């Protein structure tokens, strides 16, 4: 795959879906959006806009599992979302283990606030940051330090 390729990562949730954009050259990502969802159905027009704007090569969806790796209540819904993305956009959709990403994202936000970042935390902040972590972890396993 092209190392300059752009990827969008998604942290799927029933009420909100965090989105991050990243690229393979640095295996890094940036949180870019939180898309509202109603009972797991995203605001597709917002997803459409992000796909048109970023023109990704592929998409990455975080799949929630328990710490022991077994599936949980949200696993099937996240897989359905991944399937819907593939059908709607005709892009490759990869899945990634998202264990503890929301907890890690919340910890990063707390650390930033204690270091002087004073912006009020908004509902979608954790979702966007979790999407960044999911995408960066996925990129690192494929593109990180292979020199």
Query: 56-78, pLDDT tens digit by residue?
Result: 999 999 998 777 777 777 889 99
**Residue 92 included in any domain:** yes
Report the relative pairing of strands 6-11 and 16-23 from DSSP bridges. Answer: antiparallel
pTM of the predicted model, to two decimals? 0.81
Backbone dihedral angles phi then psi of residue 55, each to the nearest 5 degrees: 45, 60
Report the CATH number that the domain containing residue 34 is assigned in CATH: 3.30.420.140
**Residue 37 included in any domain:** yes
What's the distance, CA 15 to chain centroid? 14
**Residue 108 included in any domain:** yes
Tens of pLDDT, residues 84-105? 999 999 999 999 988 655 555 5
Per the structure, the count of domains in the chain is 1
- pLDDT (average), residues 36-57: 95
Report the largest interatomic distance among the alpha carbons of the chain, rounded to a whole angstrom: 44
Instruction: Tell me the residue range of the domain where 50 lies.
Output: 6-143
> What pLDDT, on a 0 to 100 scale, did the predictor assign at position 147?
45
Is the separation of the CB atoms in 5 and 29 below 8 Å? no
> What pLDDT, on a 0 to 100 scale, did the predictor assign at position 87?
97
Please list, residue by residue across 30-64, b when 16 or more beta carbons sit within 10 angstroms of its beta carbon and e when fewer do: ebbbbbebeebebeeebbeebbeeeebbbbbbbbb
Among 135, 140, 145, residue whose Cα is nearest residue 105: 135
**Residue 39 included in any domain:** yes
């Amino acid at each position: 795959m092209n190392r300059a390729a752009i990827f969008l990562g998604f942290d799927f949730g029933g009420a909100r879906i965090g989105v991050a954009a990243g690229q393979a050259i640095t295996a890094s990502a940036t949180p870019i959006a939180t898309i509202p969802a109603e009972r797991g159905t995203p605001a597709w027009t917002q997803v459409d806009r992000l796909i048109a704007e970023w023109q990704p090569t592929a998409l990455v969806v975080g799949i929630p599992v328990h710490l022991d790796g077994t599936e949980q209540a949200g696993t099937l819904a996240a897989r359905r979302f991944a399937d819907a993305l593939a059908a709607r956009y005709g892009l490759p959709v990869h899945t990634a283990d998202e264990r503890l990403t929301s907890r890690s994202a919340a910890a990063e936000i707390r650390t930033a606030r204690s270091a002087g970042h004073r912006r009020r935390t908004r509902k979608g902040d954790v979702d966007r940051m979790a999407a960044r972590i999911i995408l960066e972890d996925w990129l690192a396993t494929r593109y990180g330090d292979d020199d």
